[in-house]
């Protein structure tokens, strides 16, 4: 997957100012490991957030923890800020330069070091692409459950740094739950080795957790010990029509009481989202004959190969139909059909992009408040921005919605984005009033960095700032992202 746009960049003045360090970096990494030519750097310029990248100093591509450590040490000595960079699929601009930093790209650290089936763990370098990790686990006869639309490009280091979610969180938890050990290069270049593959270890602070979800602001993740699970040869997938989001939430409660932890995914999809995808996906087909306002895409799985999960699904969905929770449903008959159902869900990002300007809200709510939020926010947007199209989908099993607003057809993108600033503020207020979060899985990055001051209590901010100061006293690690320096705070 290629980033949506790339922009050539180069900053000769910056380069000249840091000539001594650049010479040391070139000696250390060689010409393959250090990119400073504008035509070669452009491929490291853009992620999926749509933010315009600033001009970095150069791109370093170390191939080992020792090289990462040496690069970060040099940056610390010369006071040059560092931006850790994974697969650049981030939605918050966290891996992009604000201007003047060294981009530290981890893609060359892409070795699966070890799979330990007895301990049910695998050790990987941070630049491994998620799909590569899943394939290596499967080849050894185990399952690594983290799954997201960008898994062909995003890297484990990026997944851990954003505490990524995805479609299997309901059953397996988010990226944080996948980690038993971590290796991190700290802001002064020292290597913090926490690579224990232990499920129980009560010997003080669990330091690895600090770096998960820290978006590269506390150090560079270089290796991880990941938790594996049994394969799930029995599985069944259904596309279900429901009347409303509250019916979907009620259906989840009903299903959980009957099949419990077998439900691995439970995705909510609105009719406008399906129509948008169908308009841009030539092979896409509506799985049901009649249109319905809302859908659920659910996958159940089990490690017992002989279990007839399809028959069980048919029976339980039949009960739900009789109870009036479900309007219609179809169960996938083949792996190809499973793929077709999921492709409708996974193509939404590209379909949205093709329709013009879009403002995204990656939010989480208590499940009991999802329907109320959708009613209130929908009414507010209809009354405020005539013609704006609300596209809703998400991992509703975790209370995580992607609440996206597309520009009215024919409107000027700039006017729409301007008008959306106030609308988004109100949407986020509604989320907070209902006890939700304004960033469920994409992180704060640079897009939402300023909002941390409004989101966190004074005490929370004080502890976060103390942690940042202790680990990165020069404020060099991903400066200006997630937790900007208080002096950078907007009035």
Binding ligand FAD (rule: CB under 6 A), the pick from 221, 255, 269, 329 is: 221
Q: Annotate each residue in 162-181 with x if it binds ligand FAD (CB under 6 A) or - if it does not, as one string.
A: x-xxx---------------
How would you class 257 by CB atoms within 10 Å of its CB: exposed for 0-12, middle for 13-18, buried for 19 or more? Answer: exposed
Tokens (6 digits) for 89? 């699929």
Residue 267: phi and psi, rounded to 5, are -105, 135
The rounded distance, in Å, linking the Cα atoms of 342 and 393 is 13
Residue 77: phi and psi, rounded to 5, are -65, -35
| Position 148 contacts ligand FAD (CB under 6 A) | yes
Nearer CB in complex with ligand FAD: 95/234: 95
| Position 88 contacts ligand FAD (CB under 6 A) | yes
Binding ligand FAD (rule: CB under 6 A), the pick from 46, 74, 478, 479 is: 478
Binding ligand FAD (rule: CB under 6 A), the pick from 11, 44, 48, 361 is: 48
Q: Interior CA angle at 63 toward 62 and 65, to 5°?
A: 85
- Binding segment for ligand FAD (CB under 6 A), chosen from 246-254, 296-304, 439-447, 454-462, is 439-447
How many Cα atoms are found within 13 Å in the side-chain-facing hemisphere of 173?
10
At residue 400, the 3 state secondary structure works out as strand
Pairing of strands 294-302, 263-270: antiparallel
Nearer CB in complex with ligand FAD: 56/87: 87
Residue 327: phi and psi, rounded to 5, are -90, -40
The rounded distance, in Å, linking the Cα atoms of 393 and 391 is 7
Shortest Å, Cβ 472 to ligand FAD: 12
How many Cα atoms are found within 13 Å in the side-chain-facing hemisphere of 67?
18
- Binding segment for ligand FAD (CB under 6 A), chosen from 15-23, 81-89, 363-371, 376-384, is 81-89
Nearer CB in complex with ligand FAD: 136/288: 136
Is residue 133 within 8 A of residue 122, CB to CB? The reply is: yes
Binding ligand FAD (rule: CB under 6 A), the pick from 36, 47, 183, 299 is: 47
* Residue at shortest CB range from ligand FAD: 158
Residues 308-337 that bind ligand FAD (CB under 6 A): none
Binding ligand FAD (rule: CB under 6 A), the pick from 80, 82, 91, 419 is: 91
Binding ligand FAD (rule: CB under 6 A), the pick from 154, 186, 187, 420 is: 154
At residue 465, the 3 state secondary structure works out as helix
Q: Is 428 left (phi over 0), alpha (psi -120 to 50) or beta?
A: alpha
At residue 179, the 3 state secondary structure works out as strand
Nearer CB in complex with ligand FAD: 298/326: 298
Is residue 281 within 8 A of residue 302, CB to CB? The reply is: no
- Binding segment for ligand FAD (CB under 6 A), chosen from 74-82, 146-154, 237-245, 271-279, is 146-154
- Binding segment for ligand FAD (CB under 6 A), chosen from 26-34, 89-97, 236-244, 404-412, is 89-97
Shortest Å, Cβ 71 to ligand FAD: 13
Binding ligand FAD (rule: CB under 6 A), the pick from 215, 250, 299, 472 is: 215
| Position 106 contacts ligand FAD (CB under 6 A) | yes
| Position 340 contacts ligand FAD (CB under 6 A) | no
Tokens (6 digits) for 182? 């971590």
**Helix/strand number for the chain, H first, E second:** 17, 17
Nearer CB in complex with ligand FAD: 183/250: 183
The rounded distance, in Å, linking the Cα atoms of 262 and 282 is 33
Binding ligand FAD (rule: CB under 6 A), the pick from 125, 441, 472, 475 is: 441
Closest CA to 261 of 226, 303, 324: 303
- Binding segment for ligand FAD (CB under 6 A), chosen from 158-166, 288-296, 320-328, 335-343, is 158-166
Shortest Å, Cβ 47 to ligand FAD: 5
Residues 444-473 that bind ligand FAD (CB under 6 A): 445
| Position 216 contacts ligand FAD (CB under 6 A) | yes
- Binding segment for ligand FAD (CB under 6 A), chosen from 300-308, 319-327, 437-445, 447-455, is 437-445
| Position 145 contacts ligand FAD (CB under 6 A) | no
Helix axes of 271-280 and 335-346: crossing angle, nearest 10 degrees: 100
Scan for tokens 């932890």, then name that residue.
261
Q: Is 289 left (phi over 0), alpha (psi -120 to 50) or beta?
A: alpha
Interaction site with ligand FAD (CB under 6 A): 47-48, 83-91, 94-95, 106, 126, 148-150, 154-155, 157-159, 161-162, 164-166, 215-216, 220-221, 349, 441-442, 445, 478, 481
């Amino acid at each position: 997957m290629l980033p949506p746009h790339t922009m050539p960049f180069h900053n000769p003045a910056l380069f000249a100012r840091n000539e001594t360090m650049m010479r040391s970096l070139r000696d250390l990494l060689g010409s393959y490991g250090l990119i400073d030519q504008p035509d070669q750097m452009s491929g490291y310029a853009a992620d999926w957030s749509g933010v315009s990248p600033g001009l970095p100093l150069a791109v370093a591509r170390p191939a080992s923890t020792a090289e990462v450590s040496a690069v970060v040490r040099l940056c610390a000595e010369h006071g040059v800020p560092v931006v850790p960079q994974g697969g650049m699929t981030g939605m918050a601009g966290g891996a992009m330069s604000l201007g003047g930093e060294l981009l530290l790209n981890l893609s060359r650290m892409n070795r699966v070091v070890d799979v330990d089936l007895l301990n049910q763990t695998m050790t990987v370098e941070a630049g491994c692409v998620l799909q590569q990790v899943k394939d290596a686990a499967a080849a050894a006869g185990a399952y690594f459950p983290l799954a997201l639309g960008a898994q062909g490009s995003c890297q484990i280091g990026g997944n851990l740094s954003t505490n990524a979610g995805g479609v299997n969180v309901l059953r397996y938890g988010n990226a944080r739950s996948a980690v038993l050990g971590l290796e991190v290069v700290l802001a002064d270049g020292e290597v913090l080795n926490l690579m224990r593959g232990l499920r129980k270890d009560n010997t003080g602070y669990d330091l690895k957790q600090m770096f998960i979800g820290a978006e590269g602001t506390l150090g560079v993740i270089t290796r991880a010990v990941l938790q594996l699970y049994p394969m799930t040869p029995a599985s069944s997938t259904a596309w279900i029509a429901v009347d409303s989001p509250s019916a979907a939430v009620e259906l989840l409660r009903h299903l959980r009481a009957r099949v419990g932890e077998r439900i691995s995914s439970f995705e909510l999809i609105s009719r406008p989202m399906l129509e948008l995808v169908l308009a841009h996906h030539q092979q896409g087909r509506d799985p049901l004959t009649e249109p319905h306002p809302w859908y659920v895409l659910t996958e159940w799985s089990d490690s017992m190969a002989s279990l007839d999960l399809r028959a069980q699904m048919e029976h339980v969905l039949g009960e739900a139909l009789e109870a009036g929770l479900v309007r219609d449903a179809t169960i996938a008959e083949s792996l190809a059909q499973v793929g077709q159902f999921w492709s409708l869900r996974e193509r939404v990002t590209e379909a949205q992009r093709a329709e013009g300007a879009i403002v995204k809200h990656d939010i989480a709510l208590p499940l009991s408040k999802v329907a109320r939020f959708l009613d209130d926010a929908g009414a507010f947007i209809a009354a405020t921005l005539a013609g704006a199209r609300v596209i809703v989908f998400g991992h509703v099993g975790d209370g995580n919605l992607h609440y996206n607003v597309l520009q009215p057809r024919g409107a000027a993108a700039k006017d729409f984005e301007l008008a959306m600033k106030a609308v988004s503020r109100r949407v986020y207020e509604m989320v907070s009033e209902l006890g939700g979060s304004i960033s469920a899985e994409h992180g704060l990055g640079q897009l939402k960095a300023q909002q941390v001051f409004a989101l966190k209590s004074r005490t929370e901010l004080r502890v976060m700032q103390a942690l940042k100061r202790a680990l990165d006293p020069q404020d060099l690690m991903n400066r200006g992202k997630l937790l900007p320096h208080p002096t950078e705070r907007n009035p």
